[in-house]
Amino acid sequence: MPSHDFLPSEQPVQLLDQDGRRVEDPEHEFPADEAMLRAHEALVVGRRVNEQAYALVRQGRLAVYPSSYGQEACEVAAALVLADQDWLFPTYRDVVSIIGRGVDPVETLTLLKGDWHCGYDPTEHRVAPQTTPLATQLIHAVGVAHAATLRGEDTVVMAMCGDGATSEGDFHEALNFAAVFKAPVVFFVQNNEYAISVPLARQTVAPSLAHKAVGYGMPGERVDGNDVAALLSVLGTAVDAARSGAGPSLVEAHTYRMQAHTNADDATRYRQDDEVEKWQGRDPLLRSEAYLTGRGLLTDERSASISARAEAVATVMRDGLMQDVAPDPADLFDHVYATPTPQLREQAAFLADELSREGVS
C-alpha cells in the first residue's frame, strides 16, 4: 500500500459542527439515530460522573481525580464501538470509558481512592487496569492483541493514551510491533493540548500526531474529539478494519481538557482563561443535545429519563465511596510474591507482633 494512503485528512473529520448541525462527509458514514441517542445518554452520564468525582475529591473520598470533563465524547465513543469480546486499555483519565464498558463505578474509582489494587476484575469486562505511567499500557495492549491473533480469536484492542504519551519510547515500540505483526489494535490518542503543563508545541513539530502513523506503516486519521458522531464513525471504521485483518491504525482526537490535569494541578499557571472559554463553546454534550433535539429525537421525557439514570450513577458513587473500609495491615505483604521471601515473612511477623502488643487483631 502506498505511504500516502496512510496519511490522515488535512482537517479533523467532523460530522456535527459546533452548533450541532450535521456536516456532510461522503467518506464517513453518519451514525444511526439509535447509536446517537445511546451515545448522548452516555455523554450525560459521563458528565455527571466527572462532576460527582470532583465533589468526592473535595470531600476527601478520592485521593486524586484526573477529570475528562469536556472530553466525554472520546470516552464514550471508545467504549461504544467495541464488541463484548474486545479489550479496552485505558489510562488514568479514562474513568468514563471504563464505566461505559460496564465496570461498576465504585470499583472503577477504587484505584483513585488510594487502594493498592485497581478495584475490578479486568477479565470480567475486558478492561485492563488503569495506568498512571505514560504509554506502558500500549505495549501490554499490543501483546494482548497479538496473543488473540495467535489463538485465532475475534478480538480487537482499543489502546488509549494522551498526547503526552506519544513522547514516550513505549509509544513507538508499541506502534512498531503492532504494525510489523498486523496486530488488531486501534491506538486512540486524545490530544487535549497539554501533557500536564507542557503544550503540544513543546512535544512535537509534526503536522499532527496522526501523521506519526505513516512512519510505522499504518493508517492515521484525525477527528474532532468533541464530535461524538465523527468519533463513532472514525473509531468504528478503525475497529472494523482491525477485526477484518487489516492491522492497526492510529486515531488522533482533537479535544481539550477543560479542568485541571488533576485536583492537585493549578492550570492557571500555564494557560489563559480565554483559551478555556474558546473551548467551552465546543462542548460535546451541548453539540449532541442540539442535534438530537433539532431532529425531534430527544424528547423532554427521554431527556428526563437520561438525567435520572445519570443521577442514579452519581448516587452509587457517593454511597459506595462514603463507606469507610478498615485497612488490613497484612495487605502490605500479600500479593507481592507468589512465595513470600524470608524478608517479607520476617517483616510480616514483626508487624503482627507489634499489633498484638497494641491489642490490634
Active site residue 22: no
**Spatial separation of the C-alpha atoms in residues 241 and 271, rounded to whole Å:** 38
Q: What angle do CA 320, 323, 328 make, to 5 degrees?
A: 115
The active-site residue, picked from 40, 126, 254, 257, is 257
Active site residue 257: yes
**Nearest Cα to 231, choosing from 255, 258, 257?**
255
Q: What angle do CA 156, 36, 239 make, to 5 degrees?
A: 15
Tell me the Ramachandran region of residue 243: left when phi exceeds 0, alpha when psi lies from -120 to 50, beta otherwise: alpha
**Spatial separation of the C-alpha atoms in residues 213 and 8, rounded to whole Å:** 9
Copy the grid coordinates of residue 23. Answer: 456536516
Read off the DSSP letter of residue 92.
T
Alpha-carbon distances, residue 260 vs 64, 147, 227, 274 (angstroms):
12, 37, 21, 15
The active-site residue, picked from 261, 282, 287, 291, is 261
Residue owning grid cell 471504521:
237
Count CB-CB contacts under 10 A for residue 109.
Answer: 27
**Spatial separation of the C-alpha atoms in residues 228 and 226, rounded to whole Å:** 6
**Spatial separation of the C-alpha atoms in residues 45 and 124, rounded to whole Å:** 22
Copy the grid coordinates of residue 156. Answer: 480487537
- The greatest distance separating any two alpha carbons of the chain, rounded to the nearest whole angstrom, comes to 75
**Spatial separation of the C-alpha atoms in residues 275 and 351, rounded to whole Å:** 53
**Nearest Cα to 64, choosing from 106, 108, 114, 104?**
114
**Spatial separation of the C-alpha atoms in residues 191 and 8, rounded to whole Å:** 15
Count CB-CB contacts under 10 A for residue 35.
Answer: 18
The active-site residue, picked from 22, 58, 202, 270, is 270
Active site residue 287: no
Q: Which residues are catalytic?
A: 257, 261, 270
